[in-house]
Structure 1
Amino acid sequence: MSFMPPTDAMFLLAESREHPMHVGGLQLFEPPEDSGPEFVRELLDSFRATDNVSPLFRKRPAEPVSSLGNAWWTYDDTIDFDYHLRHSALPQPGRIRELLQLTSRWHGGLLDRHRPLWETHVVEGLQDGRIAVYNKIHHSMVDGVSALRLMQRSLSKDPDGRDCVPPWALPSRKPSKDVEQRGLEPVLGALRSVGALGGEAAGLLPVALKAAGQMFRDGDVAMPRAPKTILNGRVGGARRFAAQSWEIDRIKRVAKSSATTMNDVVLAMVSGALREYLLEQHALPDEPMTAMVPVSLALRSESAGQSSSKDGNAVGAVIVNLATDVDSGPTRLEEIALSSRSAKKVLGGLTPTQILAYSALQVFPLALAPVPGYIKYARPPFNVIVSNVPGPNEPMYYNGARLDGMYPVSIVLDGQAINITLCSRDAYLDFGLIGCRKSVPHLQRLLTHLETALSELESAWG
C-alpha cells in the first residue's frame, strides 16, 4: 500500500451518485485500408494481451473503501480485463447520435472502488465504418489533461507502424507543470494551493486592491459574481454528452481579421451558443454571463507586447465577460477580447504562486456549494467553464487506424451544470460538452448554435 495524498483523496471524498468524479475521452478511429471484419476483435485481443500494466492502472482505494480507502492506495497484481475492457455495438442506424447517447450513460455511472478506477469501451457499428473508444478514469488518479496525454502517447505519427500499445501499458510519467494545471485543475489546484502560499500570499493584497480598482474604474475586468441561470443550480447523476469538430482555419481567419485570438473567437462561439440556447429556454439573464477560462500565460508578452518572461509557463484562471446581453456577434467578440486582455493584464504582475492564489480567490465560492442553501440563494462566481487543451498538431494513428476525433468528457459540479472542453487535433478543434441531463435539457442544440455563432462571425470578419 502507499499513502494517498490529500489532493487525491479530495476527489474520492467529494464523489457521490450525483457527482461522479471521473474524467473521460471519446476517440474516433478510421480503420486501416487493409483491415478486415475482425479488426475490432483483434484490437480487443491485443488490449487484453497486455502483460505490463502500469502501476497507475493497477491502483485502487484500500479496503474498506469507505474509510481506509480515502487515505491509502493498494495495487492489484493482476487486471481483470474482461471487466475493464467492454466491447459494444451501436443500435441501428449507427449514427453519431447513438454513440453520444451511449457515452452519456457510461459517463454518468460511478467507477467500482473495489477495482482499479478505469474503464475502456470499444464500440463498433458506426454506419460510416469508424470505430470509437471511450475511456474514463477517476480524477483521483489523473486530471483530465493528463488522461488525454496518456492517450496521445499511445499513438504514432507513422500510418504504417504497428507497435502502438494501449495507455495502461505505458510507463508512468509525471506531467509537466503546464499540463498539470489545465482543464478543471485551475479551479481545484488553486483552491488546494492556498494553504501553501507562505510569504508570497502577502503580495496578493496590493495586487487585489489594484485589480479591484481597475474593475470599478474601467469596468472591463469581469468580477467573480455572475447572474444566476439554469446552468448554475444543483446537478443530478445523469449526464448528457455532445461533441463536434470545427476546422481550425475557420477560427484562425476570424481571429486574424478581427485582430483577436483564437481563444477569443472560441469564447464568442460559446457566448453566441449560450445566448441562443437560453433564449429558446426563455431563461437568458439580463446581465452578461461570464466564463472561467484556464489560461497559460506568457504574462508580459500577452498583456504588454513584451518578450516572454521566466513566468511564461504560469497557469491560472481568469473570468471573462461573455457579453451575452449583446445581440450582435461581432460586438460580443470585441467585448470578449477586451475582457480577456484586461484579465490577463491583472495577472501580469503576479508570480506563479500568486497566480494560483489569485485564481483561488476567483473560484473559491465553488467550495461553498455543499453548504445548505448556498447554491439556491448565492450568485455563482461564473456561469460556465471553458477549457482549451492542446493536442497533436499532425495526423496520429493507432496501429494503422487514423485518429479522426478526440473529444474530452469532463466533470460537472453543483453550481456548474455544464462544462465545455475542447482539444486541438491536427487541423481541427474537437469540442466536448458535458452537462447535467436534468438541468441542461436538449444539450445537443448547443452544437447547432456554436456553428451559427461562428458563421455569423465569418460573415462579419471572415
Structure 2
Amino acid sequence: MAQEHLDRLTAVDASFLVQEKESSHMHIGGLIIAEGPPPAYDDLLDSIRSRLHLVPRYRQKLAVPPLESGRPVWVDDPNFFLEYHVRQTALPSPGDEGQLTELAARIFSQRLDRDKPLWEMWLIEGLSGGRFALISKNHHALIDGISGVDLGQVLFDLTPVPTQFPTAELEPWRASRTPSPVRLISSGVLGAARTSSRLAAAVLRAASNPARAAGVAKEAMTGVADIAWATMNPAPETPLNVEIGPHRRYVTIRSDLRDFKEIKDTLGGTVNDVVLTVMTAALRNWLHSRGVRTEGLELRALVPVSIRAKDEQGNLGNRLTVMRGALPVYIDDPYERHRAVCAAMGDLKESKQAVGAEVLAGAQNFAPPTILAQASRLNFSTRLFNLLITNVPGPQFPLYVLGRELLDVFPIAFLPENHAFATAIMSYNGKINFGLLADYDALPDLGRIGEEIEAALAELLALARAERAGASGNGAAAPPRIGAS
C-alpha cells in the first residue's frame, strides 16, 4: 500500500460532525434534471471513476483519534467500492416531478454512514418528458456550497463532447496505509503544534507592523461584540423552531434570474437582497395562514457567507462564516419591505459580524473537541436564528453529463436541530432555482411556502415594472436605487 497521509478536519468541518444527531442530518446536495435519454449505469460509473483522481477526498473516510485527543482526520478507505456510492433507481409511471422530489426527500432522510466516504450519487430514470435526474448527497464536513459548484465543474463537462481522461496512463489507485491509534494521537499533537506555529508567525508579523495589527484587532473585536449582542437578543419563537424528526419534505421552484436582476436594477439592492425580500413576504403570508400574527415580528435568518479566496476555489472543506440577517415580516408594503431588507443587510455587512464569526472560527482551531462541541452548539442554537437561507451562485453557462445537458439544478440544504425549515437557492444558466427542505411532520404545508414565494416574486416584479413604466411615462428619473448592485 502507499504511504499513509493524514489531513485533519478544520474546526468548522468538525463542528458539522458534532452537530449531527439522529434527526438533524448534516448532509447537503442537489437535485439535477437533465435531458434524456439517461446514460447507462455502467457508463456513468466509468465516467466518475475516470475523474476520481481529481477529487481524492471522495475515496477517503473519517478516522477519529482515541480519547478525543484531536479532531478527526481523513484517511483512504481501503474498502472503497464505487458501486456503493453511485446508485441507480427509477420512478414509477407517470414519473412526474412530484414523485422525483418525494424520492429526494426520502434519500435525504437517511444519514450517511460515517464508516465510509461521506457521499452518494443517485441516477434516477423514468422521469417524464424523456428526462432523467441525478441526486447528489455530500456531508457538510466534506464540502460547502461554493466548493460544490467547483466540484460540479469537475464531474460535469463544459461541452456536449465528454472530456476524455487518460485513465490507461494513470497508476491504479491504492489506498494509503491505515494509521494506527498511536499515529492518530500523534497527528492531533502535531496538528496543534502546527496551529501554534502559525499563531506565533502571525504574532511576529503583527509585531513588525503594529499599526496594521491594531486595526485588524479592533475590527475583529467589534465583530465579536456584534455576535455577542446577537446571542443576548434571541430570535423569536415561531412554528419554524420546533423539535424535528428524521423525515423530510422537499419542494422545488423555478424562476428566471433576469426577473431578480430587473427588480434590483429598478428598486435597488442586490440579487441576494431581492431573494431575501421574496422570502420575507412568503414567510409573512405563510405565518398568516398558520394564524400567527406578524405585527412587530422580525425573523432571523442564518445566511452562510463563503470566505474562500480565489486561489482556494476547488479545495474541499468549508471556508464559511455566517451572518444573521433580519427578515421584517411585520411590514405589509412590498416596496417598504424591500427597503428594510436592503438596509438591514447593509447594516449587517457594516457591523463586522462576519469578521467576528471568522475570528471565532479561527479560535476554535485551538479548542479541544469537547470545547469545540460547545462552540458548535452555540453556532446552531435556536436562540440565534429561525431558519437557514443559503444562496449559491452557479455557472451561467450550460453543463453536460455524458453528452446530455443539465436543464435544472435545485440545491438541497440541511436542518439543524430544532429548525424545521431551510431554503437553498442556486443560480444556473440564466435560472435561479429554490430548494425548500422541511421536517415532514412539522411542515405538511411546505407547498404553501413555495406558492407564496412565486406570488411574492410576481408582486415585486410587477412593482418594479410599474415604477419603471411610471418613470418613463412622465419623463421623470428612475426611482432612487437602494444600496449597491
Give the alignment's TM-score, normalised by structure 2.
Answer: 0.71
1-side partners of 2:302 and 2:64: how far apart? 37
**Is residue 46 of structure 1 aligned with residue 46 of structure 2?**
yes
What's 2:330 paired with?
325
Distance 1:329 1:366, change over 3 A: farther
What's 1:288 paired with?
298
Aligned 8 A contact 1:204 1:358 in 2: no
Structure 2 counterpart of 1:389, one-letter code = V
What's 1:4 paired with?
8
User: How much identity, in percent, do the aligned residues show?
Assistant: 27
State the SS of the aligned residue for 1:232.
coil
What's 1:86 paired with?
87
Cα offsets for 1:185-217 (capped at 9, x unmatched): xxxxxxxxxxx89885565445677x69xx9xx
**1:147 Cα shift?**
2.6
2-side partners of 1:258 and 1:460: how far apart? 9
Give the alignment's TM-score, normalised by structure 1.
Answer: 0.74
Aligned 8 A contact 2:64 2:71 in 1: no
Aligned 8 A contact 2:323 2:348 in 1: yes
2-side partners of 1:137 and 1:233: how far apart? 25
Structure 2 counterpart of 1:447, one-letter code = G
Larger radius of gyration: 2
What's 1:356 paired with?
358
2-side partners of 1:134 and 1:165: how far apart? 27
State the SS of the aligned residue for 1:241.
strand
2-side partners of 1:280 and 1:365: how far apart? 36
1-side partners of 2:51 and 2:393: how far apart? 31
State the SS of the aligned residue for 1:291.
strand
Distance 1:444 1:70, change over 3 A: farther
2-side partners of 1:223 and 1:439: how far apart? 27
Runs of at least 5 residues in structure 2 that lack an aligned partner in the other structure: 174-198, 204-213, 308-318, 364-373, 466-485
2-side partners of 1:10 and 1:244: how far apart? 30
**1:114 Cα shift?**
2.5
State the SS of the aligned residue for 1:104.
helix
C-alpha RMSD of matched pairs (Å): 3.9
1-side partners of 2:86 and 2:224: how far apart? 49
Aligned 8 A contact 1:23 1:409 in 2: yes
Cα offsets for 1:399-448 (capped at 9, x unmatched): 32111111221211124322211111010112112122222222122221
**1:343 Cα shift?**
1.7
**1:65 Cα shift?**
10
Distance 1:154 1:141, change over 3 A: same
1-side partners of 2:324 and 2:256: how far apart? 26
State the SS of the aligned residue for 2:128.
coil
What's 2:178 paired with?
none
Structure 1 counterpart of 2:21, one-letter code = S
Distance 1:340 1:401, change over 3 A: same
Distance 1:165 1:77, change over 3 A: farther
Distance 1:454 1:126, change over 3 A: same
1-side partners of 2:63 and 2:69: how far apart? 6
Distance 1:148 1:223, change over 3 A: farther
2-side partners of 1:51 and 1:13: how far apart? 31
Structure 2 counterpart of 1:406, one-letter code = V
Aligned 8 A contact 1:409 1:432 in 2: yes
What's 1:133 paired with?
134
What's 1:121 paired with?
122
Structure 2 counterpart of 1:153, one-letter code = V
Runs of at least 5 residues in structure 1 that lack an aligned partner in the other structure: 172-195, 216-220, 298-313
**1:52 Cα shift?**
5.1
1-side partners of 2:9 and 2:117: how far apart? 17
**Is residue 268 of structure 1 aligned with residue 277 of structure 2?**
yes
**1:88 Cα shift?**
0.7
Aligned 8 A contact 2:45 2:83 in 1: no
1-side partners of 2:281 and 2:74: how far apart? 45
2-side partners of 1:358 and 1:325: how far apart? 32
What's 1:444 paired with?
447
Structure 1 counterpart of 2:359, one-letter code = A
Higher relative contact order (CA 8 A, sep 6+): 2
**Is residue 146 of structure 1 aligned with residue 147 of structure 2?**
yes
2:254 to 230, 240, 245: 245
Aligned 8 A contact 2:18 2:376 in 1: no
Structure 1 counterpart of 2:300, one-letter code = T
Alignment size in residue pairs: 396
Aligned 8 A contact 2:51 2:155 in 1: no
1-side partners of 2:166 and 2:35: how far apart? 17
